[in-house]
């Protein structure tokens, strides 16, 4: 069988710094079965006539380039079976079906057959990190999160050694909640033995951080600890986790905390958002605001929750660009003063007139 793996055309509407992990796993799977495999990015035309085409997708707001890819390849290879998977395909099945009806097959969620296969990284020779899920799903059920649809069951792996590529310099974990795994200590042990740089890319759950976890983290080659402060209710856990991490020697600049805003589920307002940002800057860590995006397909940055206004959202975006660094708010002295002295959201996020 001839198999074509398609990553939609990269653009401002379809942007990711990571390789398409699902497609790389499918490549390894089909190669093992002696199928002929070709991986392409965007639109490709070089005489490879596939029997089966897999097209991946990213976030729901990046749906249009996925449609373009489906249109192009379904027209070009009329007889090939087309399977569309990934985040958008899983969350927006009806949206896809409305346009493409029976021409495509939609694969929702993860693909169990390839879950434990080492991805075929030879297809992305410029890439030098092993991307691994040591667990799927999450034990929490946050109403604003898509994980419960994408990975409904919490499934931990006992080992991940077989998913580390021997030539790589780094391991990136994409777990939603690695510390919820009953095998997290075994996994951390394997990470330590790898001697590679480690990135818990999706963050770790502050509610599960204790002294033992911090001791394990200290043994890893880790340059940044990512946490989240999406809801006010976790304040005491987060404060405790940050103090443990700092006591263990992690610098505040190494602790980055994602801070969701514009979130309608938690009735998050500009004031509650400011209060979370003030907590973080007061604790001396870096805050990284993340604008809530709904799960349905719509253009990025167009959703405005009933508790925010367009102007207020723009103030945050501008402050991130002008006052922040790489979209984050590090605990610089100037920013500390500005945020902690502010009595209102507007005072905190307005841009001061330039000095004469």
Read off the tokens for 57: 């997708």
Tell me how many residues contact ligand SF4 (CB under 6 A): 9
Contacting residue, 138, 173, 214, 242, with ligand SF4 by CB under 6 A: 138
| Span near ligand SF4 by CB under 6 A; candidates 139-147, 210-218, 266-274, 309-317 | 139-147
Contacting residue, 83, 117, 118, 145, with ligand SF4 by CB under 6 A: 145
Of 155 and 318, which has the nearer Cβ to ligand SF4?
155
Segment 284 to 343, residues that bind ligand SF4, using CB under 6 A: none
Q: Is 140 in the site for ligand SF4 (CB under 6 A)?
A: yes
| Span near ligand SF4 by CB under 6 A; candidates 75-83, 84-92, 135-143, 183-191 | 135-143
Contact between 269 and 240 (Cβ < 8 Å): no
Contacting residue, 90, 176, 263, 312, with ligand SF4 by CB under 6 A: 176
Q: Is 177 in the site for ligand SF4 (CB under 6 A)?
A: yes
3-state secondary structure of 76: helix
Neighbour tally for 224: CB within 10 Å: 14
Of 176 and 181, which has the nearer Cβ to ligand SF4?
176
Read off the tokens for 350: 């307005």
Neighbour tally for 320: CB within 10 Å: 18
Of 64 and 237, which has the nearer Cβ to ligand SF4?
237
Contact between 131 and 121 (Cβ < 8 Å): no
Q: Which of 35, 40, 106 is nearest to 76 (CA)?
A: 40
| Span near ligand SF4 by CB under 6 A; candidates 68-76, 142-150, 160-168, 235-243 | 142-150
SS (H, E, C) 280-337: HHHCCCEEEEEECCCCCCCCCCCCCCCCCCHHHHHHHHHHHHHCCECCEECCCHHHHH
3-state secondary structure of 134: coil
Q: Is 147 in the site for ligand SF4 (CB under 6 A)?
A: yes
Segment 209 to 228, residues that bind ligand SF4, using CB under 6 A: none
3-state secondary structure of 218: helix
Binding region for ligand SF4 (CB under 6 A): 138, 140-142, 145, 147, 176-177, 205
């Amino acid at each position: 069988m001839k198999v074509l793996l398609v990553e939609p055309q990269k653009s401002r509407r379809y942007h990711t710094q990571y390789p398409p992990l699902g497609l790389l796993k499918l490549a390894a799977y089909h190669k093992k079965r002696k199928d002929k495999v070709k991986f392409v990015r965007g639109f490709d035309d070089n005489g490879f006539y596939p029997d089966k085409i897999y097209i991946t997708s990213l976030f729901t707001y990046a749906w249009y380039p996925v449609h373009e890819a489906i249109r192009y390849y379904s027209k070009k290879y009329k007889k090939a079976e087309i399977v569309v998977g990934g985040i958008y395909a899983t969350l927006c099945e009806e949206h896809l079906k409305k346009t493409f009806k029976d021409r495509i097959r939609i694969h929702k969620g993860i693909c169990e057959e390839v879950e434990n296969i080492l991805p075929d990284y030879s297809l992305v020779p410029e890439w030098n990190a092993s991307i691994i899920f040591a667990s799927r799903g999450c034990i929490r059920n946050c109403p604003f999160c898509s994980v419960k649809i994408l990975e409904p069951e919490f499934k931990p792996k006992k080992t991940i050694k077989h998913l580390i590529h021997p030539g790589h310099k780094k391991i990136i974990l994409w777990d939603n909640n690695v510390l919820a795994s009953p095998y997290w200590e075994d996994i951390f042990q394997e990470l330590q033995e790898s001697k590679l740089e480690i990135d818990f890319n999706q963050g770790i759950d502050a509610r599960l951080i204790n002294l033992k976890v911090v001791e394990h983290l200290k043994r890893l080659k880790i340059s940044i600890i990512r946490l989240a402060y999406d809801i006010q209710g976790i304040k005491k856990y987060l404060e405790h986790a940050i103090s443990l991490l700092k006591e263990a020697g992690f610098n505040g600049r190494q602790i980055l905390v994602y801070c969701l805003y514009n979130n309608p589920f938690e009735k998050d307002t500009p004031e509650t958002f400011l209060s979370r940002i003030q907590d973080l800057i007061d604790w001396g860590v870096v805050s990284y605001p993340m604008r809530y995006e709904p799960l349905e397909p719509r253009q990025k940055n167009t959703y405005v929750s009933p508790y925010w206004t367009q102007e207020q959202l723009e103030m945050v975006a501008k402050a991130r660009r002008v006052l922040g660094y790489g979209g984050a708010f590090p605990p610089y002295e100037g920013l500390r003063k500005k945020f902690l002295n502010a009595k209102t959201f507007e005072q905190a996020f307005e841009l001061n007139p330039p000095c004469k």
